[in-house]
Structure 1
Amino acid sequence: MSSDLKQGEFVGALDCGTTSIRFILFDSFANIIVSHQLEFKQYYPHPGWHEHDPIEIVNVAEACIVQAIRSLEEDKGYHRNSVKVVGITNQRETTVVWSRKTGKPLCRAIVWTDNRNKGEVSRYEDKLENEGIEIDGKVYKGEDAVDALANLTGLQLSTYFSAIKLHWMIKHYPDVAAAHEADDLLFGTIDSWVVYNLTGGANNGIHIIDCTNASRTLLMSLHNLSFSPSLLKFFSLRPSILPTIVSSSEFYGLISPFSSNTLQQHQRVKIAGIVGDQQAALVGNKCFKEGEAKNTYGTGAFLLFNTGTEVVRSRNGLLSTVGYRVKGEKPFYALEGSIGVAGSAVKWLRDQMGLIGSAQEINILAEKEKTSGGVYFVTAFGGLLAPYWDTSAGGLLIGLSQYTNPSHIARATLEAVSYHTRAVIESMKADSGVELKHLKVDGGMTNGDIVMQIQADIGGFEVVRPEMRESTALGSALLAGSAIGLFGWDIRRPETFDKVNTKGSTTFKPTLSEEEREIGWKGWQRAVERSKGWEVFAAED
């Protein structure tokens, strides 16, 4: 190592998304010092299936760290020892299984968007109806069972969550079934898999999951943050396959040197923050107060509303989830509205339809028309998530006429995520009694001014977009830095982040009249009703 390299203090964030991974180094003000991002391959072997290669995810994560560390030294002149701690954030419900003995994956990961397990959902719905579920010695059946499951987990039966994906793997992949039977199976979400490998893999790698990711498995009690024996019995799963649940901000372990020699002759870096990507964005947007909300427009769109230290049960189609937790402290909870398709609809226009040449072009195309010309796009590519929860819904373009042109369809695509966001916010308002005045936003789609203005017009509220929009990565960095007291950060004292990410923001204010807004909203609701129940699925043999 060159002796003339500067010493600094930086926190790293490894952001493992659905289509790409990035490693970002932040300073104490959330200035980005270096960043490196790589995409990885998406596998779609059958309609409705979406898979990732777990080995490729680890390799890409390591490659991002390699390049970022190299840039830190060669381009910025800082010694790699300036990286003091790393936080990790990840796509959440994506399910990975691997061998306890070899540390190797037993099949591809099933991605959160995958809906191959519709038959499993139907069977478990029948099981709740006819056999019921036993919780704390009491058996619940029918609607009481559905309600008891939601009270326990904050979730509902859906293709979305990890437990049903895991059960499908055990049922359909002989290697997974054999490993489960032989007690050689380890299960986790992407955070579990990445941490396991970064800390040694089969050579004493740590098998953990943070509570925000665990709250998305359909296996954890939302109230005591532990895996529920009742749920393991219901899904016929061995307890030994499960990772240990940890908080979102604490010291977990040290990154082992990579085979690529990235960290050879380098102090092993602490991993001290782990958080699911949407909860990370809640923290990164500094939504620390009850009643504050953010929406992340990525592959999907995810709106989280901080409900404080008490669980708020939704009665309007939303999920209750862990927002974040500091070790030794009460967790903060959130209401969440999950929208399965957002940026992925733009990619569909680009890759499948050839309507645009790049994702950015949708903004130019959509701006050519002031309205969608009466066209509505219900982007139910894999059914509808919150607040509709209809796995049989089909994607729908409606209102087409000879007048319709590509610009109308582009605008309808941007309007789709904005209408769906409003639907979620209407449910949050009904659950909390709080009228949303402004919405903090981040994610790739927010780079376009037009979609943010559309969101403000459709929602009837102000949309606040920060200049630095890497909120997901920043959230994991704040939690990691707080865990070791870096920069004086303390997640328990939000004022310690007053100087973090203060470069400014852009506010988009509604311009439509209330009458125009309601006409569009009623049209969207009609379109959604027509998309529901499009596909009828029989339980698999």
Structure 2
Amino acid sequence: MARDHLLVIDQGTTSTRVIVYDLRLKPVGQGQHEIPLTYPRSGWVEHDPRTIVASVGAEVTTALINARVRAEQIAAIGITNQRETTIVWDRATGEPIAPALVWQDRRTADVCNRLRRKEGVVSRLTGLVIDPYFSATKIAWLLDHVDGARRKAEAGQLAAGTVDTLLIRHLTGGDHLTDVTNASRTLLMELATDQWSDELCELFDVPKSLLAEIRPSAGDFGATRGLDYLPDGIPITGVAGDQQASLMGQGCVSEGQAKCTYGTGAFLLAHTGARIIPSTHGLLTTRAATTRDEPPQYALEGSVFIAGAAVQWFRDGLKVIHDASEIGDLAMRGDPEGEVVFVPAFTGLGSPHWQPAARGTLYGLTRATTLADIARAAMEGVAFQVGDLIEAIEEDLSEPLAALNVDGGMSRSDAFLGFQADVLGRPVVRSPETESTALGAALLAGLGAGVWSDRATALALLASGGRTFETARGYLWRAKALERWRRAVETTRGHYRLEAD
């Protein structure tokens, strides 16, 4: 039987999706399962790792049925995942010792503040900042707060990793591997060497023996073994963190190309080629996905912690809407000249502000303010944050970005992308594939398995075109709106800085 399809596991913050692609990178079937988040305390965000693992088998089966493809037709498997979310498990049994600490989790903010004096050396080695967002302090917290965990870790009985590592362990029956893009988000890998750092492991009190072997994003990550839903021997040949996978899936593989993915958060990456560019404007320097035959590639990244999560808050918290797609219509009923500003910092402010203590804040409320005005301000708040990231990236690159390619859930909203173009004062191009994260993982898996002769052949399969949203408002409107937004952000930062002190 011909092995003429690729299977991608896209494990995100709110759901696990499995998509089957043919070898022309066209999706032919999928399954999706919502993954609940829990919030035990303010600033704490958790997953049940068992639920994540269990969702994979069910959705692989659903995707294969929907695609009318037999498992024996799968040439290779790709994995893409929410980054920074951290799990520690028993090395022998695979059982997690505690809930997964999600990338949004802020419980280690005090630890990060105590380490702030080391910010310079950490940034130089990793391209990152010291923040609860990343995995290192999460691993240490679990070792210190689960009874007996640190003793077991030092005895070699535990393993730690991000979601890709957990899934590889499950699929292969025990292999402990990760890819370079996920490793670059832990605060434990040296960006210039793609190796775990003894110095950083000591600083963050993480035993190096816990960590997985780092491999290129397209290559050998073992093969399926011991599963009841897939036969043994299907190779796993593509692994990348969701944002690096999206960068690949949008065809942004050359210096100067940029994309923004609007998922639970919003993540803007600008490819910098083989150059490591340290940011002086609050951004991150990170690894881009590469094959085993390529030299290392890098990107500048800005992270907005709350994007689609603001829409979910309207649906699940305020219960104002029944479906996420309804927020666009509600927002369009808000006053376009209103002065309500929403800083959606439910789990702190990310790039370029880095204020982990901040929380969501509304400004400009009057007795005339409606839910529609707040919905409009919530969507605008996401667009304004992305505008901050674009400005910071252009300062670091010392040149403007020609355009912005976008994908993800919020990119389906014409109203939102129109406003995003207004905020940026430049065109926004919606990808023909609004879910390019899984597409990038499929491309990496095919390259790793040798499905195509070279990367250029694979990239030529990506769909071209996509709708362009032009700016509809002028400079004066933009200047006034941005000034109001920046004042709101600085007020929020100042308030929560004082509370933290």
| TM-score of the aligned structures, taking structure 2 as reference length | 0.97
1:249 to 195, 210, 218: 218
Q: Distance between the aligned counterparts of 2:332 and 2:25, measured in 1? A: 33
CA shift at 1:461, angstroms?
1.2
Is the aligned partner of 1:155 residue 2:128? Answer: yes
CA shift at 1:81, angstroms?
2.0
Partner SS state of residue 43, structure 2: coil
Q: Distance between the aligned counterparts of 2:209 and 2:461, measured in 1? A: 44
Partner SS state of residue 115, structure 2: helix
Alignment-derived partner of residue 134 in structure 1: none
Alignment-derived partner of residue 396 in structure 1: 361
Alignment-derived partner of residue 406 in structure 2: 441
Q: Distance between the aligned counterparts of 1:537 and 1:195, measured in 2? A: 42
Where has structure 1 moved over 6 Å in runs of 4 or more?
Answer: none
The verdict on how the C-alpha distance between 1:374 and 1:325 changes in structure 2, with shifts beyond 3 A counting, is same
Q: Tell me, which stretches of 5 or more residues in structure 1 are unaligned? A: 1-5, 129-144
Is the aligned partner of 1:195 residue 2:168? Answer: yes
Instruction: Map 1:274-289 to 2 at 5 A.
Output: 274-289=239-254
Is the aligned partner of 1:33 residue 2:24? Answer: no
Q: Distance between the aligned counterparts of 2:214 and 2:232, measured in 1? A: 27
Is the aligned partner of 1:232 residue 2:201? Answer: yes
CA shift at 1:8, angstroms?
6.2
CA shift at 1:28, angstroms?
3.0
The verdict on how the C-alpha distance between 1:418 and 1:67 changes in structure 2, with shifts beyond 3 A counting, is same
Partner SS state of residue 148, structure 1: helix
| TM-score of the aligned structures, taking structure 1 as reference length | 0.90
Per-residue CA deviation, residues 87-130 of structure 1 (Å, 9 max, x unaligned), is 100001000001122221111110000101111112222xx3xx
CA contact (8 A) 1:271 1:480 kept: yes
CA shift at 1:7, angstroms?
4.9
Letter in 2 for 1:21: T
Alignment-derived partner of residue 471 in structure 2: 510
Instruction: Map 1:133-172 to 2 at 5 A.
Output: 145-172=118-145
Alignment-derived partner of residue 72 in structure 1: 67
1:43 to 24, 38, 41: 38
Count how many residue pairs are aligned between Structure 1 and Structure 2. Answer: 500
CA shift at 1:470, angstroms?
1.8
Letter in 1 for 2:184: S
Instruction: Map 1:280-359 to 2 at 5 A.
Output: 280-359=245-324
Q: Distance between the aligned counterparts of 2:65 and 2:7, measured in 1? A: 14
Is the aligned partner of 1:222 residue 2:191? Answer: yes
Q: Distance between the aligned counterparts of 2:134 and 2:70, measured in 1? A: 42
CA shift at 1:403, angstroms?
2.3
Letter in 1 for 2:52: I
Q: Distance between the aligned counterparts of 1:318 and 1:448, measured in 2? A: 27
CA contact (8 A) 1:72 1:80 kept: no
1:526 to 481, 487, 490: 487
CA contact (8 A) 2:75 2:449 kept: no
Is the aligned partner of 1:95 residue 2:86? Answer: yes
Q: Distance between the aligned counterparts of 2:176 and 2:345, measured in 1? A: 35
Letter in 2 for 1:476: A
The verdict on how the C-alpha distance between 1:269 and 1:413 changes in structure 2, with shifts beyond 3 A counting, is same
Is the aligned partner of 1:432 residue 2:397? Answer: yes
Q: Percent of aligned positions with the same letter in both sequences? A: 40
RMSD across aligned positions (CA) = 1.6
Q: Tell me, which stretches of 5 or more residues in structure 2 are unaligned? A: none
Alignment-derived partner of residue 351 in structure 2: 386
The verdict on how the C-alpha distance between 1:360 and 1:117 changes in structure 2, with shifts beyond 3 A counting, is same
Q: Distance between the aligned counterparts of 1:198 and 1:31, measured in 2? A: 24
Is the aligned partner of 1:450 residue 2:415? Answer: yes
The verdict on how the C-alpha distance between 1:510 and 1:253 changes in structure 2, with shifts beyond 3 A counting, is same
CA shift at 1:468, angstroms?
2.1
Per-residue CA deviation, residues 242-285 of structure 1 (Å, 9 max, x unaligned), is 100111000221112423xx22xx46311000000000000000
